[in-house]
């Protein structure tokens, strides 16, 4: 497995299976015994910070969460110097960043210095792979297998959508996106998706995407860092919501997923997200287990256990 997990495309199908299996182990390996994990957050977080801290703790380690303004990436000092500093105390670096390139630069600086400390993307403007691992774990737990599942994403072709789409391609699930045309995946994302293989469509036709789906997934229309575009995006996405009438087009046993935080009455109705088909609390809980799986597999492969 690759050392740095900045994108779902850094994983192979067999890596995903290993991570999801490791997420479900009853006895956890103490791969972080006596070691630290630095967790950087340039954006707010409820789930990721707590899931990552508890994952590190359960693996025997000591997490230190760091707010972006404490270290001032590229203001107080460079991303490279911060990565090299943190790697001298910690065995894992996780980071939620405003600019995906910050992760790339941190990983390159560590590799260039011969460090074996992995960098994990805890959300960037491009991808959210630790979310996608939790989503795949949730779908696998609910349906028993991932292959052949039909995932319908109603909303922005954002970080969450791209990581989930790549993840679906890698595990043999289909992924369809329904969004206004101006908010579909761009050429770079499409290139990553095509090289991951798999079935994929994007369309403005919400009903065709929902029809026969096993999973109806939504995320906020306005992601962190996009606040200035908020009003225009909300207007453009009107109608691209999951509600009871859309749910009727999905399979009878379909589930509803959302990475959270949610805006009830915008991308999803309260009756759906708080209804019997909703998997949001299992999904949120699985953030911790999938991070346990990811970190333990990364460190076990490295022989540091
Ligand atoms: N889903 C997710 O990443 O939530 P947080 O932003 O609260 O971490
Ligand atoms: N797309 C959202 C996900 C939040 C977990 C954002 O980037 O804000």
Domains of the chain as residue ranges with CATH: 8-127+287-301 (3.40.50.1370), 131-284 (3.40.50.1370)
Average pLDDT value for residue range 163-179? 98
Indicate if ligand 1 lies below 6 Å from the C-beta of 259: yes
| Cβ of residue 113 lying under 6 Å from some atom of ligand 1 | no
Q: What is the mean pLDDT of residues 148-166?
A: 98
Pocket mutation for ligand 2, best pick of 123, 230, 233 (most atoms within 8 Å of C-beta)? 123
CB 113 within 8 A of CB 141: no
Res 198: pLDDT:
76
From 201, 273, 266, 200, select the one nearest 236 (Cα to Cα): 266
> What average pLDDT score do residues 188-197 get?
93
**pLDDT given for residue 141 in this prediction:** 98
Ligand 1 atom 1: residue of nearest CA: 259
Chain segment 76-125, per-residue pLDDT in tens? 999 999 999 999 999 999 999 999 999 999 999 999 999 999 999 999 99
Q: Atom 4, ligand 1: which residue's CA is nearest?
A: 47
pLDDT tens for each residue of 200-245: 899 999 999 999 999 999 999 999 999 999 999 999 999 999 999 9
> Quick check: 304 pLDDT over 60?
no
Greater model confidence, 79 or 197: 79
Residue 26 in 3-state DSSP?
A: coil
Per-residue b or e along 191-228, where b marks 16 or more CB atoms closer than 10 Å to that residue's CB = ebbeebebebebeeebeebbbebbbbbbbbbbbbeeee
Q: In this model, does residue 293 exceed pLDDT 80?
A: yes
Whether residue 305 is predicted with pLDDT greater than 80 in this model: the reply is no
Ligand 1 near 47 CB (within 6 A): yes
Q: Does ligand 1 have an atom closer than 6 angstroms to the CB of 288?
A: no
Does the pLDDT value for residue 249 go beyond 80? yes
Tokens of 261: 């935080």
The DSSP-derived string for 35-55 is -EEEEEESS--SHHHHHHHHH
Q: Do 19 and 290 meet the contact criterion of CB atoms below 8 Å apart? A: yes
DSSP label at residue 304: -
In tens, the pLDDT along 38-72 reads 999 999 999 999 999 999 999 999 999 999 999 99
Residue 199 has a pLDDT of: 73
Q: Quick one: which atom of ligand 2 is closest to the CA of 131? A: 5
Say yes or no: CB of residue 220 within 6 Å of ligand 2. yes
Whole-number Å distance between alpha carbons of 53 and 248:
39
Question: What is the whole-number distance in angstroms between the Cα of residue 29 and the centre of ligand 2?
Answer: 31
Other C-beta atoms closer than 10 Å to the C-beta of 250 total 22
Residue 45 CB–ligand 2 contact under 6 Å: no
Closest CA to 262 of 183, 154, 176, 134: 154
User: Between helices 79-87 and 100-112, what is the axis angle to 10°?
Assistant: 50
CB-CB contact of 5 with 129 (8 Å): yes
How far is ligand 1, taken at its centre, from the CA of residue 293, in Å?
18
Q: If we measure between CA atoms, which residue out of 153, 160, 146 comes closest to residue 242?
A: 153
The CA-atom distances, in angstroms, between 88 and each of 82, 83, 91, 150 are 10, 9, 8, 44
Give the whole-number percent of the chain exceeding pLDDT 70. Answer: 99
How confident is the prediction for the chain on average, in pLDDT? 97
- For position 301, what pLDDT does the model report? 86
List pLDDT tens digits, range 12-29.
Answer: 999 999 999 999 999 999
């Amino acid at each position: 497995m690759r050392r740095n997990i900045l994108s779902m495309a850094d994983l192979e199908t067999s890596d995903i299976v290993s991570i999801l299996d490791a997420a479900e182990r009853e006895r956890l390996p103490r791969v972080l015994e006596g070691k630290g994990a630095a967790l950087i957050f340039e954006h707010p977080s409820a789930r990721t910070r707590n899931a990552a801290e508890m994952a590190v703790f359960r693996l025997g380690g000591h997490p230190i969460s760091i707010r972006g303004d404490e270290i001032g990436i590229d203001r107080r000092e460079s991303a490279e110097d911060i990565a090299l500093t943190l790697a001298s105390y910690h065995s894992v670096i996780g980071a939620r960043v405003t600019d995906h390139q910050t992760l790339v630069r941190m990983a390159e600086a560590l590799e260039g210095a011969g460090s074996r400390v992995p960098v994990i993307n805890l959300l960037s403007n491009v991808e959210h792979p630790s979310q996608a691992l939790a989503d795949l774990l949730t779908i696998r737990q609910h349906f028993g297998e991932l292959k052949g599942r039909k995932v319908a994403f109603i909303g922005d072709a954002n970080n969450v959508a791209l990581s989930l789409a790549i993840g679906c391609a890698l595990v043999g699930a289909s992924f369809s996106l329904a969004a206004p045309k101006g908010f579909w995946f761009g050429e770079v994302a499409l290139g990553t998706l095509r090289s991951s293989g798999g079935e994929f469509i994007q369309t403005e036709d919400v009903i065709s995407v929902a029809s026969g789906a096993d999973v109806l997934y939504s995320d906020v229309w306005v992601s962190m860092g996009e606040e200035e575009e908020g009003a225009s995006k909300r207007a453009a996405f009107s109608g691209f919501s999951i509600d009871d009438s859309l749910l009727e087009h999905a399979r009878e046993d379909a589930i509803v997923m959302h990475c959270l935080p949610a805006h009830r009455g915008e991308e999803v109705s309260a009756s759906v997200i708080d209804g019997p088909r909703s998997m949001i609390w299992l999904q949120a809980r699985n953030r911790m287990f999938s991070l346990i799986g990811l970190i333990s597999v990364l460190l076990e492969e490295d022989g540091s256990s």
